[in-house]
Amino acid sequence: MLNVAIVIGVLLLLGLAVAFSSLHIAREYERGVVFRLGRLIDLKGPGLFFIFPFGIDRLIKVDLRVITLEVPPQEVITVDNVTLKVNAVIFFQVIDARAAITRVRDFARATSQIAQTTLRSILGQSSLDELLSSRDKINQELQKIIDQRTEPWGIKVSVVEVKDVELPQTMQRALARQAEAEREKRAKVIAAEGEFQAAQTLTNAAGVMSAQPAALALRYMQTLLDMGPEKNSTIIFPIPLELIRPLLGPSGGDRSAGEPGGGRRAAPKG
């Protein structure tokens, strides 16, 4: 009787062990890819699910979250024969767990290799100026090509960013000299535009003053005041005729007509 109870207890323990080993839990961002006797069946999860033990079912969990993959530095020769090292970062996500397991052995490593070869190929077709100034365009082209190649694996590449560009020391000095020359050119252009605007303004002012003699006289007096900043300065200057002409009266009158007793004198007799 005791032996029977022991046997039953052992069987119960084995049954519980088998039941617990057959129960699995997949989180919300996980899916279970199950092979039953070598054949792929429907995905399991999220939540609690059961699989057959003793090798009948084999479970592989796949993370569906966005994965960040850093591409190691790649040595690239651009179209203009500049050798540089470039690394990048890729953001991708598994959208088809069964394809990611059955169509490629290691989807993360395969995506990294595709990214490395594509990075060398695309950057090798670009010049250094395009790489430095049109990085957004290059990133979009990289994302499009890598996404097309990984789509059969159930992988969606959302973002590809060129992270660092390491230039040789000689090229860094050349770019520094080029930037300095560009700044000097801009400074000269701005100075020339300022001189042109100043000359244009002076030309307009001269035209106004030539049409208005009183304005020219006022400017003349202002210049004299600027020449003597001290209050006790004495300045002697001629008064322009245009300022006092209204005080002189009619210019066509005869000055002798205003004298007393003026007029024609009688000729002396005999």
What pLDDT tens digit does each residue of the chain (270 aa) get?
Answer: 677 778 788 788 887 777 788 888 999 999 999 999 989 998 998 999 999 888 889 999 999 999 999 999 988 888 888 888 899 999 999 999 999 999 999 999 999 999 999 999 998 888 888 888 888 999 999 999 999 999 999 999 999 999 888 887 777 677 677 777 888 888 888 988 888 888 888 788 777 767 766 666 666 667 766 666 655 666 665 665 665 565 565 654 444 444 444 444 444 443
Does the global pTM surpass 0.85?
no
At residue 175, φ and ψ (nearest 5 deg) are: -65, -35
Distance CA 208, CA 205 (A): 5
Gap between the Cα atoms of 223 and 204, Å rounded:
19
Q: Which helix (H) or strand (E) holds 23?
A: strand 23-26
